[in-house]
Homo-oligomer: A and B are copies of this chain.
Amino acid sequence: MKIEIVTIGDELLIGQVVDTNSAWMGKQLNEVGLELTRINSIGDDENEILNVLRETSKRADVVLITGGLGPTKDDITKTTMCKYFNSQLVFNEQVLEDVKHFLTGRVKDINDFNRQQAMVPGNCQVIRNPVGTAPIMWFEDAGTIFVSMPGVPSEMKHAMKTEILPRLVARCDTGVIVHRTVLIHNIPEAVLAEMLVDFERSIPDFVKLAYLPAPGRIRLRFTGRGSDKEKIEGAILLLIEQLKGIVGDAILGYDDVATVQLLASLFNKHKLTLSSAESCTGGNIAHQITMYPGSSSYFRGSVVAYHNDVKMGMLAVKEKSLKDFGAVSKEVVEQMAMGARYNLGTDYAVATSGIAGPDGGTPEKPVGTIWIAVAGPQRVVSQCYSFGYIRERNIMRTTEMALVMLKKMVEEDLS
């Protein structure tokens, strides 16, 4: 069963809105074993909508359409669907009741725009929308299913989960699908690919391996398909065991979660506390940690020490070290980590000091030179990295690497 998505809206083409609906739908379809083959994004333009309906009808068995169902005048999906199917808008009592019910307590009276929502193409099957005012429309035409949903993410998601996905799964024997992700850190993609040449050759046909790179890490995703769930899971487990033998301790974890979430579990489980001292990351380590709910249970705080006075005053970095070695040095970053650990009273502390760029580099310490230190109850470790000259990327990669170094030390201390 081939499935395509059509998202409609000028805002998508001028970059005002990022199309997150498609990725969400793709993930849901994939998880139940249905195959999304293409995403088409077009503007609020009748001809373009008609063109894309014609084109997708030839390629796909199912076309999931979002957007263009609001009550305002630039939303033209509904009339265009009528035109495409040679149908007409007809009044639907049930939809009007649903709109009235939904708007009770939200608006004083329903207006013409709201009443307009109850006009639906005569050839569609209406699927009720309890979380909004636009009805969902299911069309079947010449062997293709077209489903038109609102573009509002909460409404689309509700419709997909409660109605659309169950109907599609019922229509199609999707078989068994198993996903497993392995997080690899600090091996460049090309190097990893070379390490895995023989391994990849040994992968059975019913399992696919995908490389998904992100700053400082690569997610390796195994996807197995077939009819025998135990056999597929067994095969993937065996592959992961082989992978361990090849890449060893570059494996960061087995869930597709951020490093900071792995850290949170570790710190909470062992009732440990954390602080940071940030120069080049400028608060991003603290920000990444505190974006997750519940981080206050282990994270006590951070000193963002951009100015050397702050490094000395709040983190007890020695003036002599700053003079002798500079702020971007092993000596200073280690003092920062120890200072944060002591002054914020935590079990562990992580510190960064580097030249994020684009300016500030010297021949000895070019832009991208980054020192990271981790201080724990037993020792302080530090490491120098070179991440290139793009400021944003330096900040992101330093943050990720600092969290990875921290996780390693805690795991070693616990083992």
Contacts and interface: CB of A to CB of B under 8 A. Distances in A.
Nearest to A188: B107
A154 B390 contact: yes
A285 interface: yes
Q: How large is the interface on A (under 10, 10 to 19, 20 to 34, 35 or more residues)?
A: 35 or more
A85 interface: no
B39 A359 contact: no
A133 B190 CA distance: 10
Interface of A is mostly: mixed
Nearest to A285: B283
Interface string A275-316: 110100011111101110111100111111111011001100
Contacts of A415: none
A111 B194 contact: yes
A16 interface: yes
A193 B74 CA distance: 10
Given A37-B42, A40-B39, A190 B301 contact: no
A345 interface: yes
Interface of A: 10-20, 22-30, 36-43, 48, 52, 55, 70-74, 105-107, 111-114, 131, 133, 152, 154, 188-191, 193-194, 200, 210-213, 219, 221, 256, 275-276, 278, 282-287, 289-291, 293-296, 299-307, 309-310, 313-314, 343-345, 356-359, 386, 388, 390-393, 395
24 contacts: A13-B36, A15-B25, A15-B27, A15-B29, A16-B27, A17-B23, A18-B18, A38-B41, A71-B193, A113-B193, A131-B388, A154-B392, A276-B304, A282-B286, A282-B295, A283-B304, A284-B287, A286-B287, A286-B304, A294-B359, A300-B306, A310-B344, A313-B345, A314-B314
